């Protein structure tokens, strides 16, 4: 089910609110922007069924009604990620704003790991394969991943062995590998559901 327009619009306004909270240090200007967004939220909430969004987010496909903090259009924590599967590789292009910053100018290491976990997991489960879950994830931060610059996140299967899928991938910026990841995804035994 695609995200309803009112939900997606509200999530977009919430992302704008998050950005102004971390970017604006002048209290008067912050208050002015918060008032502006509050007004738009109230206006949309008064007529939710009449809200439309330009260029609605297309779901990654394998997660129906996605609410994850990595990729969801309705969860303002997520960038959101649009992941494309070409038969060999999952791939996502995105640029992260200031709310994802750790050290100055650089994406927080945990957010870097989140994007890789999500794209490698997407590749592990692509092509209609049964859902699998991360068993381990190793991330190597070879160089900085900048905020505000276009990133490419890719993931693919390195090899598989029964229920085990060994995945690998990287984050590139301006054509250079900045971060590498490798991990193991495991498909739960039939009837067991996922590990708990």
How many residues at the interface with a copy of itself, by CB under 8 A?
Answer: 69
User: Which pair of structure tokens corresponds to residue 12?
Assistant: 């977009």
User: Which pair of structure tokens corresponds to residue 66?
Assistant: 């996605």
Q: Cβ(64)–Cβ(73) under 8 Å?
A: no
Strands 89-95 and 83-85: antiparallel
Report the chain's C-alpha Rg in angstroms.
19
Q: Determine if 149 is a binding residue for a copy of itself (CB under 8 A).
A: no
Q: Find, among 68, 56, 69, 50, the residue nearest to 12 by Cα.
A: 56
Residue 160: φ, ψ to 5°: -135, 160
Least Å distance between CB 55 and a copy of itself? 19
Choose the stretch contacting a copy of itself; rule: CB under 8 A; options: 84-92, 113-121, 151-159, 165-173: 113-121
CA distance readout (Å), 187 to 26, 91, 180: 50, 22, 23
With CB under 8 A as the contact rule, the residue among 90, 99, 122, 157 that binds a copy of itself is 99
Task: Find the binding residues for a copy of itself in span 47-76 (CB under 8 A).
Answer: 48-49, 67-70, 72, 74-76
With CB under 8 A as the contact rule, the residue among 53, 82, 94, 113 that binds a copy of itself is 113
State the residue for tokens 């992260």: 96
Nearer to a copy of itself, 25 or 87 (CB): 25
Q: Determine if 77 is a binding residue for a copy of itself (CB under 8 A).
A: yes
Cα separation, 196 vs 121, whole angstroms? 18
Q: Find, among 69, 10, 61, 68, the residue nearest to 40 by Cα.
A: 10
Nearer to a copy of itself, 94 or 139 (CB): 139
With CB under 8 A as the contact rule, the residue among 2, 4, 82, 166 that binds a copy of itself is 4
List residues near a copy of itself by CB under 8 A. 4, 6-7, 10-11, 14, 17-18, 21-22, 27-28, 30-32, 34-35, 37-39, 41-42, 44-46, 48-49, 67-70, 72, 74-77, 98-103, 105-106, 108-111, 113-118, 121, 133-141, 143-144, 194-196
């Amino acid at each position: 089910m695609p995200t309803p327009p009112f939900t997606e619009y509200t999530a977009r306004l919430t992302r704008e609110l998050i950005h102004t909270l971390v970017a604006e240090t002048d209290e008067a200007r912050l208050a002015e922007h918060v008032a502006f967004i509050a007004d738009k939220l109230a206006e949309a909430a008064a007529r939710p069924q009449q809200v439309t969004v330009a260029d609605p987010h297309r779901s990654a496909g394998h997660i129906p009604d996605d609410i994850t903090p990595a990729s969801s259009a309705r969860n303002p924590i997520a960038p959101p990620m649009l992941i494309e599967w070409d038969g060999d590789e999952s791939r996502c292009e995105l640029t992260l704003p200031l709310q994802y910053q750790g050290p100055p100018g650089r994406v927080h290491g945990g957010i870097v790991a989140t994007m890789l976990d999500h794209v490698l997991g997407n590749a592990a489960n692509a092509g209609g394969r049964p859902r699998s879950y991360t068993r381990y994830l190793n991330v190597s931060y070879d160089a900085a991943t900048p905020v505000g610059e276009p990133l490419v996140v890719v993931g693919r299967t390195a090899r598989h062995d029964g229920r085990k899928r060994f995945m690998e991938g990287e984050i590139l910026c301006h054509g250079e590998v900045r971060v590498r990841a490798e991990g193991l995804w495991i498909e739960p035994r039939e009837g067991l559901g996922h590990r708990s």
